[in-house]
C-alpha cells in the first residue's frame, strides 16, 4: 500500500499495520502529499519525482550484424532472435563443432557416426538446459527476495 511517499508491504493485524496505515493516511490528509500512484495510472510519468530509472541499465546495443538497436523499442521475440543469432557465432562452439565434424569424416562405420553425433547433440542440449535452468532459477529467486 502506498500513501504519499511511504509504502507498506503486508498486513499483520489491525493493532500493528492497521494503526500504521491510519497514521500515514491522517498525516497525509493533514499535511498533504504528492500522489505518486495516481500520476503513474494517468500515464503522467514524465515528472522527475515520479520516474525511477535503473542506474547502469543498457538502453542500446551496438550489434555487429544488426547495427545500433534500441532495446526499449524492440519486442521480446525480436530481441530474443537477435541475441540468439549473435550467440550462435560462439567461437568456442565453432571449434568444438569443427572438431566433431573432423572426427565424423574419418569414421567408416555409419552406426558409430550416428552414435557420436547424437551423443554430442544430447550432451550439448543437456548442458545448455542445465545452465539456462540455473540462470532462470537465480533470476526467479532474486525477483522473489527483492
Q: What is the pLDDT of residues 112-135, one digit of tens each?
A: 889 988 998 898 889 888 998 998
84 and 97 share a domain? no
H-run or E-run covering 22: helix 19-31
Q: Count of alpha carbons within 13 Å of 65, Cβ hemisphere only?
A: 9
pTM, entire model = 0.39
State whether 101 and 70 are in the same domain: no
**Is 47 a domain residue?**
no
- Provide the domain limits for residue 30: 2-41
97 in the same domain as 85:
no
User: Read out DSSP for 31-58?
Assistant: H----HHHHHHTT-TTSTTT--PPTT--
pLDDT tens per residue, range 1-54: 888 778 888 888 889 988 988 888 888 888 877 777 766 666 554 444 434 444
108 and 146 share a domain? Answer: yes
Residues 79 and 102 in one domain: no
Does residue 98 share a domain with residue 108? yes
Asked if residue 140 belongs to a domain, the reply is: yes
Q: Are residues 82 and 98 in the same domain?
A: no
Tell me how many domains the chain contains: 3
Amino acid at each position: 500500500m502506498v500513501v504519499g511517499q511511504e509504502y507498506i508491504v503486508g498486513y499483520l493485524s489491525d493493532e500493528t499495520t492497521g494503526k500504521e496505515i491510519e497514521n500515514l493516511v491522517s498525516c497525509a490528509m493533514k499535511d498533504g502529499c504528492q500522489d505518486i500512484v495516481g500520476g503513474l495510472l494517468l500515464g503522467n510519468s514524465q515528472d522527475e519525482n515520479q520516474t525511477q530509472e535503473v542506474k547502469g541499465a543498457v538502453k542500446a546495443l551496438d550489434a555487429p550484424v544488426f547495427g545500433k538497436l534500441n532495446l526499449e523499442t524492440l519486442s521480446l521475440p525480436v530481441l530474443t532472435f537477435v541475441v540468439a543469432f549473435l550467440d550462435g557465432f560462439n567461437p568456442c562452439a565453432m571449434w568444438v563443432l569443427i572438431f566433431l565434424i573432423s572426427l565424423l569424416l574419418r569414421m567408416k562405420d555409419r552406426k558409430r557416426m550416428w552414435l557420436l553425433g547424437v551423443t554430442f547433440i544430447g550432451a550439448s542440449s543437456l548442458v545448455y538446459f542445465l545452465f539456462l535452468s540455473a540462470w532462470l532459477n537465480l533470476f526467479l529467486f532474486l525477483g522473489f527476495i527483492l
